[in-house]
Amino acid sequence: MNIRPVLSPGEASGAALVDLPAMGPAASGRRWRLREADPAVCAASGESGLDPVLARILAARGVGAETVERYLAPSLREEMPDPFVLKDMDRAAERLARAIRNGETIGVFGDYDVDGTTSSAILKLYFDAVGAASLIYFPDRISEGYGPSADAFRSLARDGANLIVTVDCGAAAHEPIEEAAKDGVDIVVFDHHQMSGPPPAGAAAVVNPNRPDDLSGLGGLSAAGVAFMGLVALNRALREAGWFKDRPEPNLMQFLDLAALGLVCDVMPITGLTRVLVAQGLKIMGQGGNPGLKALGARAGVKGAPSCYHLGFLIGPRINAAGRIGHARLAFDLMTTQDPARRQELAEKLHILNAERQEIEAEVQAAAQRDIEIHQRHADDVIVTAGEGWHPGVIGIVAGRLKEIYDRPVIVIGVDGDAGKGSGRSITGVDLGAAVSAAREEAILTAGGGHAMAAGLSIEASRIGEFRRMMNERLGRAVTLARANRVYDIDAVVAPMAVAKSFADLAAAAGPYGPGNPEPAFALLDCRAEYVKTVGKGHLSLTLVNDSGESARAIAFRAAGEALGEILTSGRRLHVAGKIRADDWRGGDAGQLQIVDAALAL
């Protein structure tokens, strides 16, 4: 193999593959577990020149010695499946290709979140590249809500579209699609949300890897991934029809940074094809990529090689701010405009909107926590909290934050008069989307659906109590089991010398990381926390020192006043675990341990 270790093998990496010692209760309440890795695979990988820790990281993720090189250099050419393995993709590609060849105007109806806007941008940019006319429609989150409507379809049809593609929605839009079919409008659906029954009968095609009769095995794709697969199929259909005989064929790789953004921000498992798409998307972004994303990234303070962190926590929230408290068209225009001045203007607008969103979000979160504490909803297996006037554009983010605080599924509902709109986030092992769909089928909800980790819903305010009871009855056992089996997987025990940029680079080689492929965690044992001080908004900065006098810089975000902070400031011997990152402030090979958990040594 032509792979060289970033650090020299063995003890020079500062790692020891030893068992975890006895320890007191961890701050997180989770049980630490050293990841299992086949020793034979580790040995075989090590013989190929890999650092033993990197070999162990890969082996613990099921990467065999014979596939290490392929895993570390993911190639779309090698990993991309035939797009026609997706159910209905043949029908979708045929209808879209026919529309382009016949000069039809194609309407695109997109959801207002990151996945929907990136999917819409991918389609728009492709249609422009092949000379097809297109119209774009995003519903207003407040006045129209989620998903297609007959009025929206009629609006696109009046403007000349007799073929409409829905992205990140549509799989459950039976009535609007049937109405459109009666009006002579063809609907192609590119979606990924769970489906409990057959697809809309009036659709020309419903491409959704999570439809019950789809056997592609690509359920980890978000709508942006499905849209990209759709373009691969469409491009092939146009090529076979001779469309590119007298015009250039688009390079589909240019759209991968948009696809990666949608996949990461919709919290898809970073495994299999999704991991390859994200890896290639980050590579495209690093080479310049979509000019709009580049402008927004610069405004958001993105530095260094693009990562999933940049997508999920810096760029994504600013794109989302448009659909949450502004209008999704702003984000879409940023990703598709050819005007550099307009691009900079939109990047600034989205940056400002994001700041406003943060303020609104903080207010709603504070109100939701008051409701939870006053009514002791934290004792429920599933927390359902509701309040009058809570902005529907931030309830999903608030649900995610409360889920982290209370370690159980949380559904936040904003009430406006007699109606409520809710958004929920779940914990690993609890399928929230299926439960919400079941509540819709039982008519407790007026609308609802999603996937395992996230869901959205509409409900009559008078039925919120009934919905709360149903969620707890249906999911209580799953939540109990999931919380009882909580573990924190440790990839390796390391010495303080491992807390360095070079070691962080070594671990990053097995990325990108995300759900389903978490960033490696490392433990430092028998340390004391010295020079502990509070920085920023409740963060603890400290130095970890072991019995040999070796030391490492560390930080624990939002730990002050929490269980983690109490352990770190106890003055006692302790074990800590977290992620090793480069310390950009000090530069050079300086590193920093971002502490995720800690426990007292016994």
Does the structure show a pLDDT above 70 at 13? Answer: no
Residue 516, pLDDT score: 85
Residue 12, pLDDT score: 38
What does each C-alpha distance from 433 to 236, 391, 449, 464, 505 come to in angstroms?
A: 34, 22, 6, 17, 36
Output 194 or 162, whichever has higher pLDDT. 162
Q: In this structure, what CATH number is given to the domain that contains residue 507?
A: 2.40.50.460
Percent of the chain beyond pLDDT 90?
Answer: 79
Percent of the chain beyond pLDDT 70?
Answer: 97
Token representation of residue 95: 């209808």
Instruction: Give pLDDT tens digits for 308-337.
Output: 999 999 999 999 999 888 899 999 999 999
91, 28: one domain: no
Q: In this structure, what CATH number is given to the domain that contains residue 112?
A: 3.90.1640.30
134-137 and 105-110 strand pairing:
parallel
Q: Which of 12-26, 305-319, 437-451 has the lowest mean pLDDT?
A: 12-26
Residue 46, pLDDT score: 65
Question: 467, 484, 501 — which closes off a domain?
Answer: 484
Instruction: Give pLDDT tens digits for 77-103.
Output: 999 999 999 999 999 999 999 999 999
Question: 484, 508, 530 — which closes off a domain?
Answer: 484
510, 584: one domain: yes
SS3 474: helix
Q: Residue 555 sits in which domain range?
A: 15-35+488-600
Residue 137, pLDDT score: 97
Residue 119, pLDDT score: 98
Highest mean pLDDT among 311-325, 373-387, 499-513: 373-387
Average pLDDT estimate for 363-390: 97
Does the structure show a pLDDT above 70 at 382? Answer: yes
176, 238: one domain: yes
165, 203: one domain: yes
Average pLDDT estimate for 502-530: 92
Q: Give the chain's domain count.
A: 3
Whether 495 maps to a domain, the answer reads yes
Residue 14, pLDDT score: 45
Whether 78 maps to a domain, the answer reads no
Instruction: Give pLDDT tens digits for 35-47.
Output: 888 787 777 766 7
State the Cα angle at 513 between 510 and 515, rounded to 5°. Answer: 140
Average pLDDT estimate for 496-511: 92
191, 288: one domain: yes
Average pLDDT estimate for 537-545: 95
Whether 507 maps to a domain, the answer reads yes
Go through 245-273 and write b for each residue having 16 or more CB atoms within 10 A of its CB, e for each that does not.
Answer: eeeeebebebbbbbbbbbbbbbbbbbebb
Does the structure show a pLDDT above 90 at 197? Answer: no
Q: In this structure, what CATH number is given to the domain that contains residue 474?
A: 3.10.310.30
Whether 564 maps to a domain, the answer reads yes
Residue 5, pLDDT score: 31
Average pLDDT estimate for 526-553: 94
Average pLDDT estimate for 262-282: 95
183-187: which pairs have CB atoms within 8 A and are 24 or more residues apart? 183/153, 183/154, 183/157, 185/153, 185/156, 185/157, 185/161, 186/95, 186/162, 187/153, 187/163
Instruction: Give pLDDT tens digits for 349-362.
Output: 999 999 999 999 99
Residue with tokens 């529309």: 99
Contacting residues for 287 by C-beta, under 8 A, at least 6 apart? none
Contacting residues for 182 by C-beta, under 8 A, at least 6 apart? 202
* Inter-axis angle of helices 316-325 and 114-129, nearest 10: 100
Does the structure show a pLDDT above 80 at 10? Answer: no
523, 472: one domain: no
**Distance, CA of 349 to CA of 321 (rounded, Å):** 10
222, 335: one domain: yes
Whether 9 maps to a domain, the answer reads no
528, 455: one domain: no
Contacting residues for 22 by C-beta, under 8 A, at least 6 apart? 602
- Confidence at 18, pLDDT banded by 50, 70, 90: low
Residue 372, pLDDT score: 97
Task: Kindly report the average pLDDT of the chain as a whole number.
Answer: 92
Whether 446 maps to a domain, the answer reads yes
498, 435: one domain: no
Question: 426, 454, 484 — which closes off a domain?
Answer: 484
Residue 199, pLDDT score: 95
Whether 75 maps to a domain, the answer reads no
Contacting residues for 297 by C-beta, under 8 A, at least 6 apart? 285, 306, 310, 314, 315
Residue 231, pLDDT score: 98
Whether 216 maps to a domain, the answer reads yes
244, 301: one domain: yes
**Distance, CA of 224 to CA of 215 (rounded, Å):** 19
415, 274: one domain: no
326, 246: one domain: yes
